[in-house]
Amino acid sequence: MDIVVNEELKAYIDPLTPEEHDALERSLLAEGCRDALVLWGNVLVDGHNRYGICRKHGLPFQTVQNPRFQSMEDVHLWMIDQHLGRRSVSDFQRGVLALRKREILAARKAEPTAPASHDGAAATTEATVAEPTAPVPPPAPELHSRESIAKAARLSSSQVVMIEKIQKQAEPELVAAVKSGTISINAAAAVATLPAEEQRAAAIAGKDELKQAAKRVREAKRKPPREEAAGAADAAPTPEGEASPADTLESLRRRVAELTAENAALRAQLAQLQAQPGAEGPPF
């Protein structure tokens, strides 16, 4: 059988890092390809990296059909579930996959009568896919809340919220940084609130600048209570003809400074008088 590599499926899950790919290659060369590649007809669904390495070195491999696939959506959901269960997948990647699963299930629910067909897969791969004989797979559990998404991805609900923010607001450079582990999910969510140019500049500058940018955002949100009170006083309307609280406070400060200076001058004069010969102390 001629195995067809669907580039859309190959890119559906984030690729291995060069280090991870090298480690897999060493493992296959030492132990062979023990896990079968998963196919849908003649389309490769799971095992793209193993397939490429085996072909490169002429290593034998096994294949297995998954007859439960009825559509490309079924393939995507299966791929997502497979990667959600793998320890090597980062927290951010699991969150993205769980959110992607929610979108697929929501779209499927919105069109319950849409016929299942291989036409999409055939058009994409330009390959003939054998019609499966197995019954239609049972519906996947819905991910209708952040709590259910967090459970599926083994994350907290707050992490899911931050990942959603990153997906919506972060520039590609910032997304690449969080995918690579250069910046944490928490810090990336903070930096994502900055203007696009600032995000890109921080990401290009590297890990230290990203940390500093996240710190600046957090500090800006944590405004001291005194500053907030002063800001509220400044913003409060002042009746016409009356001094505002800020003006009154400034006047009092000036008056205190003047009295302090006068007091200091009087003390200096008294000291000079007491230092003169024959001077008597104060009559009190």
206 and 179 in a common domain: yes
209 phi-psi bin (left φ>0, alpha ψ -120 to 50, beta other): alpha
183 and 145 in a common domain: no
3-class state of residue 131 by DSSP: coil
Query: Could you count the other beta carbons within 10 Å of the beta carbon of residue 281?
Result: 8
Q: What is the mean pLDDT of residues 222-233?
A: 58
pLDDT higher than threshold 60 for residue 227: no
Q: Among the three residues 47, 67, 87, which one is the final residue of a domain in this structure?
A: 67
Q: Among the three residues 67, 95, 122, which one is the final residue of a domain in this structure?
A: 67
10 and 72 in a common domain: no
What average pLDDT does the chain have? 81
76 is a domain residue:
yes
147 and 182 in a common domain: no
83 and 147 in a common domain: yes
Q: Say how many domains are in the chain.
A: 3
Give the structural domain span for 63: 1-67
129 is a domain residue:
no
39 and 4 in a common domain: yes
126 is a domain residue:
no
62 and 3 in a common domain: yes
Name the pairing type of β-strands 37-40 and 43-46.
Answer: antiparallel
124 is a domain residue:
no
What confidence score (pLDDT) does residue 112 get?
A: 59
Measured distance CA(92)–CA(72) in Å, rounded: 24
What confidence score (pLDDT) does residue 240 get?
A: 52
pLDDT higher than threshold 70 for residue 236: no
48 and 29 in a common domain: yes
Measured distance CA(257)–CA(261) in Å, rounded: 6
pLDDT higher than threshold 60 for residue 132: no
85: Cα separation from own chain's centroid: 20
Measured distance CA(4)–CA(75) in Å, rounded: 15
19 and 48 in a common domain: yes
Q: Among the three residues 201, 222, 243, which one is the final residue of a domain in this structure?
A: 222
Amino acid in position 270: L
Most confident of 95-99, 117-121, 141-145: 95-99
36 and 86 in a common domain: no
What confidence score (pLDDT) does residue 15 get?
A: 87
pLDDT higher than threshold 80 for residue 127: no
176 and 148 in a common domain: no
What confidence score (pLDDT) does residue 120 get?
A: 43
149 and 86 in a common domain: yes
Q: Which residue has the higher pLDDT, 186 or 224?
A: 186
Q: For residue 70, name the pLDDT band (cuts at 50, 70, 90).
A: very high
259 is a domain residue:
no
Q: 194: buried, middle or exposed (CB in 10 Å: 19+, 13-18, 0-12)? A: buried
Q: What is the mean pLDDT of residues 173-192?
A: 94
